[in-house]
Structure formats: structure tokens, C-alpha cells
Structure 1
């Protein structure tokens, strides 16, 4: 779909349905190793046992811990079928010798488990609270005191949410040992038509707790979240023509924003400090990039091309440059420019069309969709080192894979794809592996990941 046929590809792309591209693992280039950390270590995670009222929530706790760690892509989970018969539940169960049925660290470091780390514990009902006693040991260290990395108590309400909260906290502490932040507590906002209209929805990072945010009973698209997570910006057709609206995630109320007097104002994005909004507007006939305060005041035109230019994304690290989509060279491509509109350079070259750029938190890489090497209308997801222009393809095949966005940890990507006929939200690791489907009902597109 070329820009000359659709004034705003970001708003038109949802209309076309096809067959999704299946995600495959790309070649482990230096770029991918840089983003994912390369070789994974192995962790064994025997299930926590639970007594009393906590027993009803043990399965949920165990499943959540396992999924959080597996989803991180940092550690490889040792197959549970290889586990010794009697794993430890508490610190006093450990023995300093070997061949003790799972009570020695060497039982876990040896074949067939071959685990570098052992996480274990138990849960109980204490005073009507869900209490988990979590441990983490380095199996390569013979001295038990020296091998101990985590010994901590996790307390939460005796409910599903409480068990999930304790599990997220325990998994986060494990990941923190390796310098990787947990995604627990982060949110994904997206567009869903499951109620019959395209509205903004939100969910937890793992797809749980899906709930509707807006209810305009119209078309809502291109959501963006402020760096502090307190304001949503999006394009709405509630008043007829596409206009930018702001929403408070604290009060669940609209925030005033003065739109330019134009037939189209769309694809908003916040500056890294949250003080400005960058967006596309047809104020002077040509659809160009503009910036304004979060109130809409102090409007300033940034781009000056006669081509259609949309989807501005400000570098989150430096705040000094913008990537955007332009048709100035014919088919839409991704460009970069300074905040004042100078220094324009084309990032995507060769055949095909490119759109939906999203900055990595490090400000050095982008992820985007591209038709390179595929028939028109078939989009796949790529990641690029902006300085070197090195590019790696993450999804493969026919269909539409689009709206990619980085997670706050810089290790995961959320995107929309139509592998089952309808668009759904998926996540994957930055190397294209670890595909997870998060939504099921209706069409779900345009994810944005909030801290």
C-alpha cells in the first residue's frame, strides 16, 4: 500500500487482512547477540509445594514464576523430567555432599539436569496471607553459603492476584541477579475492535487483565504512551475527521489538546521528557511532521517536504533526532532527521516499502515493518542498527506483521499479525524466537509498551 493511495498508512493498514508470517529464528548476527546477550545459562525450577489455604494458589504461583523466567529469554529452563526425585524446599534441606537424591547442588549441576542455577522454595498460608519462601543457588559453587544468591520471603493476599504478585516479585529478583529487569508491572496498550468499534485497550505484559480504556464508539488508532505512563495520546475519528486526543491513565478522563485546524492530525508520539507531542498534520495541505506542547500550544512545523510524512518517533535516549515515514522517494521509506528538520537521511534502501519504526530504549536501534523481498502487502519485521545500517529480519513468510514496538527491557518486541486470519498481538524476543500470542478476541493491533 503506497502513500499516494492511502494518506496515512498507519491508519489504513488495519483494513487489509491476509495470512500471517510465521516467526523463525534469524541468523545470530552480531546485532542480535548484542540485543539478546548471546548464550543462555540453565536454571532448574522445581515446583513450590504449598499447605493450608495456599495450596489452592500453588499451581498459579508455579506457572507464573516459570513463565516469567522463560519469557525473559535470559535463561534456559532445565527439563523437569530430568529433575531428581526429592528437590529441596527450604535451606535446611540442602546437603554439602553429592548423590543425595536432589538435596545436593551437585545433583542439579550434573547430567542430565546440567543446571547452572537452582531456584526452589515452598508456600504457606500465614495469617490469611499467601507467603512464599524463595531461594536461588549457584550450583557451580561447592560452599552452600557462597552459592546462595537469594533467600527471601514474599507476602501477598491469599488470592489469585496475590499469588501472581508474589510470583512476579520472586521471578524479578531472579532476573535481577543477571542484570535484567523484569517486565512484571509493565502494560501494553493496543487497539481492539472486539466490542464492534476500534477502542484503546490495555493488558499486562503477559496478556492477562485485558480491559477497555476508551469508549468513543468510533474509530481510535495509533496510541502512544507518555514516558511516565500517565498520559495516552491517540488518533480518534469521534468528531468526524482524525484528531489527536489525550487521556489520563490516572483519572480515566480526557486531557485537553488543541488540534491544528486541519483535516488530519494523527500518529502522535511523546518526546522523551514528556513535554511535547510530535505528530503528522495536513495543516498546510501537505501532511507533514509537527511538534507542540502537550496542550497543543506552541505549534512548530518540523519537516518541509512536499511528500506525505507520518509516524514521527523521537530518539528516547538522546532526544535529538526523529525517525519517520516519508514518501519523498516514491514508495514509503523510513528516514531520520534532527529535531529542527535538518540532516534528513534515508535509513531503508532497496526494494519494498517500510513503515512503523520504533526506537530501542538505547537509542541506537529501531524495529520496523518492511516488504523487502515479498509481494506487495506482505510485511515482515526487521531490526536495524541505525549507525551501521545493519539489518536483521525477525519474521518470515507471507501476510502482515506490523506495528512492532520495543519492551522497556529492550529484549522483547510486541507486534500485530494475522496468522489466524484476524490480527492479534504477539510478543517475541529480539532475535525472533519465543513467540507468544497475547490476545484472541476480535482484531487487535498497534501495541505500545508502557513501563
Structure 2
């Protein structure tokens, strides 16, 4: 786990009211969760309304015995990718025309644009297996444009395997999302790294696809490894691992599929975080006595201390937009609170002033920070640890708008933003027990929540791309 000073006891979660900054003031006023979500959706939208899209099952064009099962995997993956993208209104398959088009000449757009489908866009194509190769032709048509309907046409030719069928669907989905989603790349090909409890209490670093598929171990160290953070170019994985020198930062090469050298130093070293250019790591280290925020280069050299204050400083994360600011958790004022500063330690700003805050993650556009917060933490106080989002747009001052995006679901922690800014992955335990913790994903406004793992998974980190 990320080092949490004064870790709270599990409290019974209760629904807490969201607050909304009133227009023309800097004062928080009470508001409903619905109004808060409306504000947040407005602030985070790409300016593109949800598009009604029909996703046809692809047409099987050859009778190879592998075609049917692999096409089923492809069809299911493509549909789910587009359904979870957060920018589409998916037409129910029960409303689709009965005929399955496999090529542009086979589609009757009127059948798709008229009721009951009433689609604005149609994704369709052909799938076959030839000589142990999966051959896919994918098309995206504008159902309302009868003169020039074709928006996208892609061809794929890969090994005929279950994984290849999934990956082809991911790539085609990302092409559609990029084209229709305001030029923001999709996340169907991204990965999530996380901590998995294995054996007799050991914790290893695991990897899975963004949708929870293809879960497999990365490390096999036989100890406690925590806080995985993947580099911006997806070539290296930094994490903290328990060894004879205590917790130290370790480095795994995803290109070489093995551990690579990284220096050990004194004290406890936790929660590494990559700068957006991949040249530096920020982390928490107690080498000078008190846990402080340090920054060094990506090879472990040139480390220098950024904070110097009594009380633990932990869980740093760079602003991925600028690389010039850090958000982190500090216990300098008592219970841990969320702070922000420039990377040289100047311009310190406290973002929370009550409760118990942990585990910040910065949105890709640099405008928001998501974090875990037990806002009413204290002896006898009702409360629960939930995921929140706070606005920290460059140039903002005074009070910061925030919204609570999980409610009544137990202890939530370790949120991590997706590279498209539309989703958040996090850890949740309904009863607060670590062994029961699962990884969940949701849209960034807290809707469309769904689990990705079985119990025993924790501390997720979404890849940069």
C-alpha cells in the first residue's frame, strides 16, 4: 500500500453531501449530488454530445472452424469497448436490422438510421480466419449521410488467437473513439498495473488490459511489492519492494521482461511517480529521518529533497500536463491532507482542510486531482473513505471546487486517472478488509461502476497511453 500516516480505522460509510462553488463567489454552498455531477460533466466534457452508434456483429466470410469462436470474442470486445467509452449511446442489439453487412455494398443505411435503431453511426465489417490468420475489415459509416457515408475503413491481419481477436477489436474501437470523440485517443489498448496478494501474504505486481481481461503477474519476487507506476513510454515499471534494506524503489523493464538495476539507499522509500517526460521520479523517502518528498533521475541518481517539514510527506504525483507541479499528501498539520507545490518546493498550497486524505492522481489535462478522502474522520464521527475530485486548474486561487464520486460502497482508495481523462480506476473493499479489496473502474463522474478483478487486488495504476 502507499504509506498512509496515521492510517484510520475503518468507519461505516455514509452518504455525504456534495458541495458546489456558487457562481460569482468563492464560497462553498450546499448542493445536491445531481447538481455537482452536472457541473463536473460540464467541466470535463470534450464539447461532443454522446453519439448514438450501432455496433453490428461482423459477418463471417469463411467457414474455418476458428472463425466462429474468434469472431464471437471480437464482436463482444468491440461492443464492450464502445459501450464503456463514455461518449456513445449504444443501440441495443435487439433493435438492429436482421441482415448483417460485411462490406459497404451490403449495407442499407436507411434501415440503420430509421427507427427502431435510429443510429447516427454504424460500425460493421467482416471477420474470417485464413491460413491461421485472423483477417478483419472494419468500417464506420455515417448513417445520415447517404452520399458520402464512409468515415473510417481499416484492415487487420494477425495470428488467429483469442488475444489477437481482442487486440484487433481494441485497435478498431480506439480508431472509432479517436475519430468521433474530439480527437482524444481511446483507452482500449491501455494497461492497468496493480498489486495482487499471492501465496502466504506476498504481494506481486500484476498487469491486465483496461477492461480486466488478460490478468497475469509481472514480478515474481516472493516479498511485498507495492505502488506500481508505469513510465510514460510504457517501457519501465517503478514500484516499492520490501527487502533486507526495508522498502526500496525497484525497477522492472517491460521490454526485457526482467528486473533492472536501481540503487538502494537508506530509510524507507515508497510511492514512486514519473514525470511526464519520463526523465525523473518523485518518491517519499525517510533517508533524512522524516519521510519527505524527493526527486531524482529515472536511473536513481541525482536525488534531492523537495520538502522539509516535520510530519510525513508521501504519495507524490506530477502534473502530467506541465510536469512543473506536484500533488502529495502531508501530515505536517496533523491528519494527512492534500497539498500542491511546484517541483522546486515553492508555491505550496493546501487543498483540503479537514478529514483524512490519501492517494492523489492528477488528470491528464492538469485541471483536476482525484484522491481518497475520509472527510469526516475522527473519534465518533460518521464517515467513510470515498473517491473525490477537486479542481486545481492553473491560475485558480482561493477555494477549490470538489465533488464526491463514490458513495456508500465501503472503503475506496488509490484512484488512478485514465489517459483519456474520462475514466478512473480505484480499489474498493466493502467491509474494509484488505483481502476483500477489488479493483473497480468508473467514468470520471462516478457513473458506470464495474469491478475488474476478484478480491485480493489493490493499488491500480493506469498506463499513460
TM-score normalised by length of structure 1: 0.88
Q: CA separation in 1, counterparts of 2:158 and 2:3? A: 47
What is the alpha-carbon distance in structure 1 between the residues aligned to residue 461 and residue 34 of structure 2?
A: 23
**Which position in structure 2 is the counterpart of 1:39?**
49
Alpha carbons 2:439, 2:460 under 8 Å: kept? yes
- Structure 1 residues 305, 80: CA separation in 2 closer, same or farther (over 3 Å shift)? same
CA contact (8 A) 1:36 1:430 kept: no
2:107 is aligned with 1:112: no
Q: Is the contact between residue 20 and residue 400 of structure 1 (CA under 8 Å) also seen in structure 2?
A: yes
Kindly tell me: are residues 436 and 313 of structure 1, through their superposed partners in 2, closer, same or farther at Cα, counting changes over 3 Å?
same
Partner of 2:20: none
Q: Please, which moves more after superposition, 168-177 or 329-338?
A: 168-177
CA distance in 1, matches of 2:217, 2:114: 49
C-alpha distance 148-300 of structure 1, shift in aligned 2 (>3 A) = same
Q: What are the equivalent positions in structure 2 for 1:52-63 lying under 5 Å apart?
A: 52-53=63-64, 54-63=67-76
Paired residues of 2:2 and 2:359 also in contact (CA < 8 A): no
Note if 1:416 corresponds to 2:400.
Answer: no
Give, in whole Å, the separation in 1 of the partners of 2:225 and 2:382. 26
Distance in 1 (alpha carbons) for counterparts of 2:296 and 2:131 = 54
Superposed CA offset, 1:389-423 (max 9, x none): 22121111152111000111111111110137611
8 Å CA contact 2:174–2:189 kept in 1: the answer is: no
Match of 1:169 in 2: 171
1:248 pairs with one of 246, 253, 265: 253
Q: Displacement, 1:169? A: 2.2
Residues 265 and 174 of structure 1, relative CA distance in 2, 3 Å threshold: same
Task: Tell me the SS of whatever aligns to 2:98.
Answer: coil
- In the TM superposition, what whole-angstrom CA distance separates every residue of 1:11-37 from its partner, at most 9, and x where no partner exists? 968xx7788899x98843333233244
> Which of 388, 391, 407 pairs up with 2:418?
407
The equivalent position to 1:363 in structure 2, one of 362, 366, 369, is 366
Q: Which residue of 2 aligns with 1:156?
A: 158
Shift in Å at residue 259 of structure 1? 3.3
1:221-240 map, 5 Å: 221-239=226-244
Give the secondary-structure state (helix, strand or coil) at the position aligned to 1:150.
Answer: strand
The answer to which of 340-349 and 180-189 deviates more is 180-189
Residue 183 of structure 1: CA displacement?
A: 1.6
Asked whether the equivalents of residues 58 and 101 of structure 2 are also in contact (C-alpha less than 8 Å), the reply is: no
Are 1:194 and 2:198 an aligned pair? yes
Please tell me the root mean square deviation across aligned C-alpha atoms, in Å. Answer: 2.5
Question: 2: CA distance between counterparts of 1:195 and 1:184?
Answer: 31
- Counterpart residue number, 1:341: 345
Structure 1 counterpart SS, 2:198? coil
Alignment partner of 1:372 is 2:375: yes
Counterpart for residue 290 of structure 1: 294
Per-residue deviation, 1:425: 0.9
CA distance change for structure 1 residues 110 and 71 in 2, over 3 Å: closer, same or farther? Answer: same
Matches within 5 A, 1:199-218: 199-218=204-223
Three-state SS of the structure 2 residue aligned to 1:177 is helix
Query: Compared with structure 1, are the counterparts of its residues 295 and 156 closer, same or farther at alpha carbon in structure 2 (3 Å cutoff)?
Result: closer
CA distance in 1, matches of 2:2, 2:158: 51
Contact 2:59 2:126 in 1 (8 A): yes
Residue in structure 2 matched with residue 29 of structure 1 by the alignment: 38
Q: In 2, are the aligned partners of 1:11 and 1:222 still within 8 Å (CA)? A: no
Report the 3-state secondary structure (helix = DSSP H, G, I; strand = E; otherwise coil) of the residue aligned with 1:62.
Answer: helix
Greater Cα shift, 47-56 or 330-339: 47-56
Matched, 1:72 2:85: yes
1:8 to 3, 11, 15: 3
Contact 1:10 1:222 (8 Å CA) reproduced: no
The within-5 A match list for 1:382-393 is: 382-387=388-393, 388=396, 389-393=400-404
Relative to 1, partners in 2 of residues 1:302 and 1:76: Cα closer, same or farther, differing over 3 Å?
Answer: same
TM-score (norm 2): 0.86
Any residues of structure 2 matched to 1:73-112 within 5 Å, and which?
A: 73-94=86-107, 103=108, 105-112=109-116
Residue 174 of structure 1 aligns to a residue in which SS?
helix
For residues 400 and 319 of structure 1, the distance between their equivalents in structure 2, rounded to whole angstroms, comes to 30
Compared CA separation, residues 426 and 399, structure 1 to 2 (3 A)? same
Residue 397 of structure 1 pairs with residue 415 of structure 2: no
Q: Is the 8 A contact 1:48 1:122 kept in 2?
A: yes
* Cα displacement string for residues 25-69 of structure 1 (whole angstroms, at most 9, x for unaligned residues): 884333323324463111111211313122231211100110111
Question: Contact 1:129–1:155 at 8 Å: present in 2 too?
Answer: yes
Instruction: Give the length in aligned residue pairs.
Output: 429
